[in-house]
Amino acid sequence: MGHDPHPDRPAALQDWSEAFGTPPPPFLSVGFMQKATAHEAQCRRHGGLPATTRRILTKIATGEKAECTIAPKLSPGAHLVREWNGRTYQVHVTENGFEMDGKTWRSLSAIAKHITGATWSGPRFFGLNTQSKSRR
């Protein structure tokens, strides 16, 4: 007696091709393809991993040394102070983001860019990152 292919296999193959733009590698199980395409759809809906996380994972996958930083979670009411080029900047953490000089900002990185004119990691600019062990 022969084994009938999984009845959902044609749909799983089609979903994979639509999600990734190529046919799947041979011999993938239907369950794996369904999980992978569901994950891809979730990433597209919600934005996937942050760029920093993707860069660190790529370095780890290729055997490079990857420095990880951990930014603490800020609670509404927290107050950050940073001096830059002789001026002191004060930032208040709110329910909706961050407030500085009467303006609301979505991220600390946007504030850091406003202050310096250059692209910065906001948590790093405000001294919030702590170095963790290198990953290898």
- The pLDDT tens digits of the residues spanning 88-107 come to 999 999 988 899 999 999 89
Q: For residue 19, what are the domain limits?
A: 9-61
Do 119 and 87 belong to one domain? Answer: yes
Structural contact between residues 91 and 99, judged by C-beta atoms closer than 8 angstroms: yes
Do 49 and 81 belong to one domain? Answer: no
Do 85 and 118 belong to one domain? Answer: yes
Strands 79-84 and 69-70: unpaired
Q: Is the pLDDT of residue 78 over 80?
A: yes
In a domain, residue 26? The reply is yes
Instruction: Count up the domains in the chain and report the number.
Output: 2
Do 18 and 51 belong to one domain? Answer: yes
Do 84 and 126 belong to one domain? Answer: yes
**Using 50, 70 and 90 to split pLDDT, how confident is the model at 52?**
confident
Amino acid at 81: V
| pLDDT score recorded for residue 44 | 85
**Using 50, 70 and 90 to split pLDDT, how confident is the model at 128?**
confident
Do 82 and 125 belong to one domain? Answer: yes
- pLDDT above 70: percentage of residues in the chain: 88
The answer for residues whose C-beta is within 8 angstroms of residue 56's C-beta and 6 or more apart is: 66, 68, 135
